[in-house]
Structure 1
């Protein structure tokens, strides 16, 4: 009996040592992947997060990392087909992270982010659903992270989606919120995002679009000029976003 106890104890020690070593390796790899993201090396980061998930398939940090890097890579694809492919991949990882921890602010933020990406290709009815779900996820994030600029931006995007629906779809939206009020809320939340993070081209560009929709041309021009004074990040769409800013400025003028 004593020999059995010794054997079991030895096995437990080996298991603990293996698990501890595995966890240490995962922590190092997560740090390396996060550093790649900070260096805007999203393709490299994607491979690192993917490698981690082979070892630890329910690692929430890696799942969110995969979702985020997939969305950024998708944002910078030239064709809609490739964009959709990466956005679909991003959603798969975001959903898994959310299923594992629906109370996680990071998981909720990622769900809002990727739903915004999907709304680019959605018809009116689908856009309504996505916008409302974005609001739920963004508001949940802001409940615990009141200074999360990205969450304010996504909340603004959700209202902008509702405010700019095709005319024949607005009646459905106005049962909950009038289009003009949705536009006002979009502007308010874009402004909050900018106050917290004043260096994002995407935030100013989105504010300019909202002002243009609200026929406030001077404010739209000021916002787009501010956007053009900043350096774009891959997360914002890189140089393609600058081109959109230039096109918007030309249209406003």
Structure 2
């Protein structure tokens, strides 16, 4: 009887200590996620990614960490010059995106990072694979917008998608027709401009959106809209290295248009 009592006391102690340990871990994850988000917004991508991956070590199915780790791998990979390292980042981004999508296939964020990772991998693939990846992006972008019509990042990527598909070179257009039945009929520069305008509507502080919109207007030979967009971009308060580089490009484009 005494032995049984000791066993039950031990089991009870385990039960009493288990909950606080889980709670502390949960609180720790929330703090890491909050700090990682702050770093991500400040473009301190490597530090933010390390924190998200720290969360994933103890919580492999943390949806927020999976989505943001995917996005950061693609954003970091875009800056890397070594192609092998770039591809490694993109593959990791695709892996995280796929895991997030399995958890929440209808959510805007998982569809968004799937589209981002597909686009990233497309840029380092051969012509056929590149077109396949770009084509696959559209369904994820449509699903993301269906879930959240105010997701600025999705509208921005959709604008880029329209612009890319509307300006395929002859070889790409031929391949698209041969392998995928042609280019999507709605892929026009006007649709690209409209999507980018919507991205700016929901996030008017992102200079990348203005730069991309000005590029589309330049392709459309719309000098008035292009110069106005560039002036708006230059007026933004930029602080990070990436933002300042975009501001510099906007000033150069504006000077060229003002001649």
TM-score by length of structure 2 reads 0.80
Match of 1:17 among 15, 20, 33: 20
SS in 2 for 1:146: coil
SS in 1 for 2:221: coil
8 Å CA contact 2:39, 2:47 repeated in 1? yes
Alignment match, 1:177: 184
8 Å CA contact 1:201, 1:231 repeated in 2? no
8 Å CA contact 2:74, 2:117 repeated in 1? yes
Alignment match, 1:210: 216
Structure-to-structure mapping, 1:1-253, within 5 angstroms = 3=5, 7-77=10-80, 82-171=85-174, 172=176, 175-178=182-185, 181-232=187-238, 237-249=242-254, 252=257
CA 1:238–1:135 in structure 2 vs 1: closer, same or farther (change >3 Å)?
A: same
- Uncovered stretches (5+) of structure 1, i.e. residues with no partner: none
Q: 2: distance between equivalents of 1:78 and 1:244? A: 20
Report deviation, 1:82: 4.6
Larger radius of gyration: 2
Report deviation, 1:190: 0.9
Q: 1: distance between equivalents of 2:238 and 2:95? A: 27
Q: 1: distance between equivalents of 2:38 and 2:79? A: 20
CA 1:68–1:197 in structure 2 vs 1: closer, same or farther (change >3 Å)?
A: same
- Uncovered stretches (5+) of structure 2, i.e. residues with no partner: none
CA 1:121–1:217 in structure 2 vs 1: closer, same or farther (change >3 Å)?
A: farther
- What do the CA deviations read for 1:39-91 (whole angstroms, capped 9, x no partner)? 44322222211222221122122222222333333344455555444333322
SS in 1 for 2:188: helix
Aligned length: 251
